[in-house]
Chain A
Amino acid sequence: MVTLDTIRPFETPEGVELELRIAGPVPRSAAWLIDLLIRLVVLFVAYLAFIPFAQFGEGIWFLGFFLIEWLYPVLFEVYKGQTPGKRALGLLVIHDNGTPISWPSSLLRNLLRFADIFPGCYGVGLVALLCNSDFKRLGDLAAGTLVIYKDDDVTRLPIPEHEPKTPPISFDYPTQRAILDYAERHERLSGDRSIELAGLLEEMTGKVGQENVEEVLGYANWLVADR
């Protein structure tokens, strides 16, 4: 099945296919802006803090400026996988083979930012990013890195217990999956929405309203139940 989305599958040596969700230019720019703000604030505070130390303080300030200008994203990416801005947007930087980013790769992708920003507002980077399917700017291309969405912790949603009901027909896989998905999310749906969604199967169940919902939950129980 061909899907039009930003999921990038990659195969591990164990032969299973894992999926990464690639992040596009908009959340990445937002993350960058947040980081820029943080950096400016830190530099300003450092400036105030080091003024009293005259020449020595100025030297330290220059060092800090260098670190924040060039190495701020590198340090955060290597130790945390994400800068504070990316963290706020739920983004993560990793190698395109799914492994955590290393020092040289992070340094490479962040040094090449200088070329990506050219001639202003990430002009080059944006063009590069829109020319490949993985949203890679030049720095990502050279370093072999991806910016992906960090998945929230997956919580299992229990399927509400009901008397298992044998469905009248054998479901195809997408339908089976949809029914299980519905059952798992049932607790989170409002009552009306729950009835509305189950209503799609009214013709098959021959029931309406709450009874119909219970019928569908019965199918879901039958699908997973070990009997």
Chain B
Amino acid sequence: MKQERFEKQNREIWLEFDEQLTSTSAKALSVEDVKKRARVPWLYRRVCSDYAMAKYRHYSPTLVAQLHDLALRGHQSLYTKRVHWLSWIHNFCAVDFPQTLRRHIGFFWLACALLVGPALALGIMCHERSDLIYSVIDHRNVASYEYMYDPENPKIGREEERAGSTSTKMFGYYISNNIGIGFRIFASGILFGIGTVFFLFYNGIFMGAVAGHLTRLQYGETFWSFVSGHSAFELTAIVISGMAGLMLAHAVFSPGNYRRSHALQRVGREAITLVIGAGLMLTLAAFVEAYWSPTSLVSNQVKYVVGGCLWLLVVSYFSLAGRAAAASRISSEANHGN
């Protein structure tokens, strides 16, 4: 068939498909429009076959390019996942996030050990020996931490709090600083896990040293009541970021039966789920740390109780959420198999 006749025969189809791809307004479709929409998959297959035909018959380059463009746009439009953001968030929080964490619980405990191990060791050592903290943190920072949590001061919290700053400033600071740390812990995992291990270790040492030192100085009351509120979200989220980084490292070190790039891609999907979850938790932690932790309206006992409840909440969320969905999916898959 000559090119001219081919074009004449099919032009209408191409134009209709082009029009359907261009008109993006998904709202308020009339019955007529819906009927036209229903033709899109059929039109797409037609355009694909026309493109293949035009290429095979060596029609003119711009005709082939035009059909290629139509087919590519059709492919992109038809094979896009469309999920309503509300249902995505619901599925993420109720099923995806806790399930992904449980599926890779080994990495969680490993990351946990890398953070908590050095923290405990340094905590105990700094509690016993007064000068040890100066070999971990420089003296000016130590002084500022001592000043911040001195029970003599009316307001506690990080130093900036002292200058009469508003909580919103601290909220912004915590978001930018803490989520940034979580992201870095994760991302550096792809470099053979060196970065992740380093950041977890470093943060553990730092936390432990400060906690042990302040407790030794009898500043424990102000320090522990301040951190009790947000610690559940913040520490867990940092461990989860580390866990996601370790998963990347594992894919690079031991890709199993896959190519390294393929193994990375498989694990990347799950790792990013964990990182998104960790980011959300750190946002919550920033709220608590900025608006609740420094408050002097409630007694320390109340803060401890609230902190304990939040820990209980986090633990039960990760151990229980999404189990029913997992069970029903497994059973439906089993039925499918039968």
Interface residues of A (CB under 8 A from B): 12, 14-16, 18-19, 55-56, 58-63, 65-66, 69-70, 94, 97-100, 102, 104-105, 107-108, 111-115, 118, 124, 132, 136, 138, 141-144, 151, 153-157, 159, 173, 176-177, 180-181, 183-184, 223-227
Contact partner of A56 (CB less than 8 A), chosen from B76, B166, B189, B265, is B166
Verify if B195 is at the interface (C-beta below 8 Å from A). Answer: yes
Interface hits, B135-177 → A, CB 8 Å = 164-166, 168-173, 175-176
A77 to chain B, nearest CB (A): 14
B203 proximal to A (CB < 8 A): no
Report the tally of A-B residue pairs with Cβ distances under 8 A: 169
B62 neighbours in A (Cβ, 8 Å): 154-157, 184
24 A-B residue pairs with CB within 8 Å: A16-B48, A16-B51, A16-B71, A18-B71, A18-B72, A59-B171, A62-B173, A66-B172, A99-B76, A112-B190, A114-B187, A118-B191, A138-B190, A141-B261, A142-B248, A153-B69, A154-B69, A156-B62, A156-B66, A176-B58, A177-B61, A184-B62, A224-B59, A226-B4
Cα distance A184–B191 when bound, in Å? Answer: 51
Q: What is the chain B residue whose CB lies nearest that of A179?
A: B60
**Smallest CB-CB A-B distances: 7 pairs:** A62-B172, A59-B172, A59-B168, A142-B268, A66-B176, A224-B3, A114-B187
Check A58 against B169 for contact (C-beta < 8 Å). Answer: yes
- Interface class of chain B by DSSP: helix
* Other A-B pairs beyond A18-B68, A61-B172, 14, CB < 8 Å: A12-B48, A16-B48, A59-B172, A69-B180, A98-B76, A111-B275, A114-B184, A154-B68, A155-B62, A223-B3, A224-B2, A224-B3, A224-B60, A226-B5
Chain B CB within 10 Å, residue with most, of A12, A16, A19, A99:
A16
- Whole-angstrom distance between the alpha carbons of A87 and B112 in the complex? 42
For A108, the chain B residues whose CB sits under 8 A away are 268, 271-272, 275
Question: Is there contact, CB below 8 Å, between A115 and B45?
Answer: no
What's the Cα separation between A65 and B174 when bound, in Å? 12
